[in-house]
Amino acid sequence: MSANIVVVEDEEDLLELLEYTLQKEGFETIGFLNTKTVVQILDEEEIDLLIMDRNLPGVEGSEFVAKLRDDGLDIPVIFLSARDSDEDIQSGFLRGGDDYITKPFNMKELVLRIRSVLKRTSKKHHDGKLLFRDLLLDKSSRTLSVDSKTVEVTKLEFDLLSEFILNKNSVLDRDYLLENVWGDSENYQYRTVNVAINRLKEKIDPDKSKDYIQTVRGVGYKIC
């Protein structure tokens, strides 16, 4: 699971450690020592998760998140804080946190909690429409349009394209696709994936001019 994560932490050494660890786990990270330019990044970039300290220069972290919520931003938030009283934890959740981890913490647990929050919130954030280049998937009506023209696809093809768009920063191997699209990685062969992707590519790019889905030799497929 790939994701773009913003980390706000005023201890520089800890911020560097967090970024290093998360990047090793396959995440893209943007680190900040304060909140001064965080809102600009959240507005300009597609961010999947915000990891927020509370004791920050200039503004208290949970108050900053509460303001984001008031402004309508529903990005998932994990608080990572030394403030560990019951009242602190409760206020963190009440002000918009999706999870709360107290310092000191175990880095492996943090990664697991990050993956859990991303898995839990990705469906919530993508229940409506998915847009990639000129592809538009409407999950409520389960329809696909390419360059504003409706294209008929099967349920399997719709789910397959959805999975690619939701993981647009990742190369997806065949085992992953069989498990997450077909729901069964034991009773299907890799050829099943190859055939389905070729049929999908034929429908969304019949003249082969847009090259949405590319083969990464020896690994799998990626949407581009």
CA distance 224 to 214: 7
DSSP 186: S
* Residue 183: per-residue pLDDT: 82
The percentage of residues in the chain with a pLDDT greater than 70, rounded to a whole number, is 96
What's the mean pLDDT in 57-77? 89
Pick the range with the lowest mean pLDDT from 44-48, 67-71, 88-92: 44-48
pLDDT of 169 over the 80 cut: no
Q: Give the pLDDT mean for 28-56.
A: 91
- pLDDT of 43 above 90: no
**What's the CATH number of domain 4-125, 3.40.50.880, 1.10.357.10, 3.40.50.10540, 3.40.50.2300?**
3.40.50.2300
Residue 130 or residue 5, greater confidence: 5
% of residues, the chain, pLDDT over 90: 55
pLDDT of residue 200: 94
Which SS3 state, helix, strand or coil, does residue 100 take?
strand
The pLDDT of residue 111 = 94
Give the pLDDT of residue 123. 52
Q: Does residue 204 contact residue 151 with C-beta atoms inside 8 Å?
A: yes
pLDDT top residue among 185 and 198:
198
Q: Which distant-in-sequence residues (6+ apart) come within 8 Å of 175 by Cβ?
A: 185
* Cα–Cα distance for residue pair 160/135, rounded to 1 Å: 13
Examine the pLDDT at 3 and tell me if it is beyond 60. yes
Q: So what's the pLDDT on residue 218?
A: 85
Dihedral angle computed from the Cα positions of residues 165, 174, 215 and 6, in that order, rounded to the nearest 10 degrees = 40
Residue 150 has pLDDT above 70, yes or no: yes
Write out pLDDT tens, residues 9-38.
999 999 999 999 999 999 999 999 999 989
CATH architecture of 129-223: Orthogonal Bundle (1.10)
Question: Distance between CA 18 and CA 26 in Å, rounded?
Answer: 13
pLDDT for residue 109: 93
Structure token digits, residue 90 = 């409760």
Domain ranges of the chain: 4-125, 129-223
178-206 average pLDDT score? 87
CA dist 158 and 103 (Å) reads: 42
Structure tokens at 173: 């191997």
Cβ-count burial 30-54 (b if 16+ within 10 Å, e if not): bbbeebeebeeebeeeebbbbbbbb
pLDDT digits (tens, 9 = 90+) for 179-190: 888 887 677 788
- Residues 123-135 have pLDDT tens digits of 555 457 788 888 9
What's the confidence (pLDDT) of residue 2? Answer: 72
